[in-house]
Amino acid sequence: MIDRKIVIPAVAADGSLYPIEKMQAHITGQLHLAVSVFVFDRDRLLLQKRAQGKYHCGGLWANTCCSHPHWQETVEDCAARRLTEELGITLPLRRHQTVDYEADVGAGLREHERVTLFSASADRTRLVSFPDPEEVEAIRWISLANLRREIARDPNSFTPWLRIYMDRFPDLSFGQAA
């Protein structure tokens, strides 16, 4: 997949936002805004396997949806937009806390994100998804217990940020909605 020169919000030292090209943020490791969405059916989480052509972490399993808001786009709008664009799903989202993390994502790129976490509930037997093949290679539902076991057995099959979230929130309970 060819990166389309997307401009995202970076976070300055004083907390203010400024525009930066997405790849530049990842090359320099600049702190920037992001969203992560987790769709659950009770104790099962919908995972996506990132398309091989993604600019980083292609072929790795991740939470349901992750992305960066466009410059001047709200995190709420971004989460809803990307859930639809990546997976063809529209669901009511609950906003949770915002967390920072840093991770080496290979190929000389770094994620240094201020991520707002979102969750949604769905009935996996009735949910219809239309994954964009440029974004998503596969999807699957997994229990949290099995996800923890798979990450312990083969951590390199999962994105760094999913491993970080599982370390920080073992039951993926993010607390009360903001």
Q: Where are the beta strands (DSSP E) in 16-56?
A: 17-21, 32-41, 44-50
Helix (H), strand (E) at residue 104: strand 94-106
pTM of the model: 0.93
- Beta bridge partner(s), residue 93: none
113 is catalytic: yes
The second-level CATH assignment, the architecture, of 7-167 is: Alpha-Beta Complex (3.90)
32 is in an annotated binding site: yes
Segment 59-67 mean pLDDT: 96
7-42 per-position pLDDT tens digit: 999 999 999 999 999 999 999 999 999 999 999 999
150 is catalytic: no
Which of 57, 65, 78, 113 is catalytic? The answer is 113
